Amino acid sequence: MARVKKAVNALKGRRNILKQTKGYRFGRSTKKAQAIEALMHAGAYAFAHRRDKKADMRGLWNVKIGTAAKANGTSFSVFMGALKKNKIELDRKVLADIAENNPETMKRILAEVK
């Protein structure tokens, strides 16, 4: 059987890994083993932080809604409770957008639930 050298394939694999770690510091961008480890950690953090981002956005929406509610003489919890009691099904994302971009509409919603 003929001898098979793996130079081309090995270089291709190394090149592809190092392409992904472009911009990383020190050996993580130049050494294959360190680059692979850096990519594994980066992937784990990216996965976890995609979930964290959702919680961060929900917190931001709550702050925006609470600020608008406070400006109109009520609190966030009272406002959200009144929405549920009156069966107004606007989610936090939509309410935050209304509070930020359409303060008059927010006032009408607050007047509706009082």
What's the one-letter identity of residue 71? A
Q: Is residue 2 part of a domain?
A: no
Q: Taking the CB of residue 35, how many other CB atoms lie within 10 A of it?
A: 21
**The domain spanning residue 101 has which CATH number?**
1.10.1900.20
Q: Is residue 15 part of a domain?
A: yes
pLDDT in tens, the chain (114 residues): 888 888 899 999 999 999 999 999 999 999 999 999 999 999 999 999 999 999 999 999 999 999 999 999 999 999 999 999 999 999 999 999 999 999 999 999 999 998
Q: Is residue 64 part of a domain?
A: yes
* CB-based contact 82:113 (threshold 8 Å): yes
